[in-house]
């Protein structure tokens, strides 16, 4: 048996067994990232698509994703790679790209406005080793590094990103323990601690996807915004309030009412300087 201390689940794995994220596996008595270097998605995106509105706005960034996730959101928009039904199929459809190759691809895109690499699409933290190795090399070549993450990781894991990741968009999915435990299979307090850690060394922006009947209350949004504002310099942390659309296993409700999204954004703006709406 070997333990994985990356996140709240702290999976204890037998030889050959995968963690609940599907990306980490016990091999030769140690837990490793089995998705290391396997890229299922790659695109040169506007930085605003991450979304990052206050980090090199107007630039583009080479975005890469693999497979696996340590959350289990029923509304996942990338469930095909985050929670694949067939890992062999995903691997066959993926391409192995080493950190050296990834850095070369990023450099070749500079003429198209690229500033670096964003680890995104699935949960990049479950492939932490690839992120760290690639980020170190990208920095040596003067490139920026970005991560789009659910932030469900220990403080120790977050500290390993210090000096490697320049900016993050972190999902703060709700401000209730019930939402995280019953819907996402995570832990709100761990995500909050991850945000505090990341804020100490990287540019961060936060995203809250507003799901009807789940996290769309004004009191909850007010509590979330007030907590963000309470962090050092927290009033200037951008918050993206985003509209839900039926996806994956949550197709039993309509898209979030646009007026509700705008009203919740106005509530957050009582505490925060930069509040943006998304998917509206």
pTM of the model as a whole: 0.97
Q: Give dist(CA 249, CA 168) in Å, integer.
A: 27
Band of residue 133 on the pLDDT scale cut at 50, 70, 90: very high
pLDDT for residue 123 is more than 90: yes
pLDDT tens-digit profile of 184-241? 999 999 999 999 999 999 999 999 999 999 999 999 999 999 999 999 999 999 999 9
- Contact present, 160 and 139 (Cβ < 8 Å): no
- Contact present, 173 and 215 (Cβ < 8 Å): yes
Residue 149 three-state SS: strand
CATH of domain 36-278: 3.20.20.70
Task: Write b or e for each residue in 251-277: b if 16 or more Cβ atoms lie within 10 A of its Cβ, otherwise e.
Answer: eeeeebeeeebeebbebbeebbeebbb
Does an H or E element contain 223, and which? helix 218-230
Band of residue 1 on the pLDDT scale cut at 50, 70, 90: confident
Q: Where are the domains of the chain?
A: 36-278
**Per-residue pLDDT at 91:** 87
How many percent of the chain have pLDDT more than 90?
96
Maximum alpha-carbon separation in the chain: 54
pLDDT for residue 88 is more than 90: no
């Amino acid at each position: 048996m070997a333990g994985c201390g990356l996140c709240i689940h702290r999976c204890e794995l037998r030889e050959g067994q995968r963690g609940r994220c599907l990306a980490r596996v016990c091999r030769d008595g140690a837990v490793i990232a089995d998705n290391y270097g396997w890229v299922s998605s790659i695109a040169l995106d506007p930085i605003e698509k991450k979304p990052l509105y206050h980090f090199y706005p107007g630039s583009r960034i080479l975005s890469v994703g693999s497979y696996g996730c340590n959350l289990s959101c029923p509304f996942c928009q990338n469930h095909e790679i985050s929670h694949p039904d067939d890992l062999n199929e995903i691997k066959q459809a993926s391409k192995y790209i080493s950190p050296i190759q990834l850095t070369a691809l990023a450099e070749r895109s500079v003429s198209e406005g690229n500033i670096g690499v964003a680890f995104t699409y699935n949960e990049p933290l479950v492939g932490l080793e690839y992120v760290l190795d690639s980020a170190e090399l990208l920095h040596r070549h003067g490139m920026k590094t970005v991560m789009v993450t659910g932030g469900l990781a220990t403080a120790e894991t977050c500290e390993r990103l210090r000096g490697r990741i320049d900016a993050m968009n972190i999902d703060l999915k709700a401000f209730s323990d019930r939402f995280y435990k019953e819907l996402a299979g995570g832990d709100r307090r761990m995500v909050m601690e991850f945000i505090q850690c990341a804020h100490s060394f990287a540019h961060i922006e936060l995203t809250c996807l507003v799901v009807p009947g789940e996290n769309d209350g004004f009191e909850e949004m007010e509590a979330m915004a007030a907590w963000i504002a309470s962090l050092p310099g927290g009033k200037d942390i951008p918050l993206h309030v985003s509209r839900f659309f039926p996806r994956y296993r949550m197709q039993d409700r309509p898209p979030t009412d646009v007026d509700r999204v705008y009203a919740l954004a106005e509530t957050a703006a009582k505490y925060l300087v930069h509040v943006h709406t998304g998917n509206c």
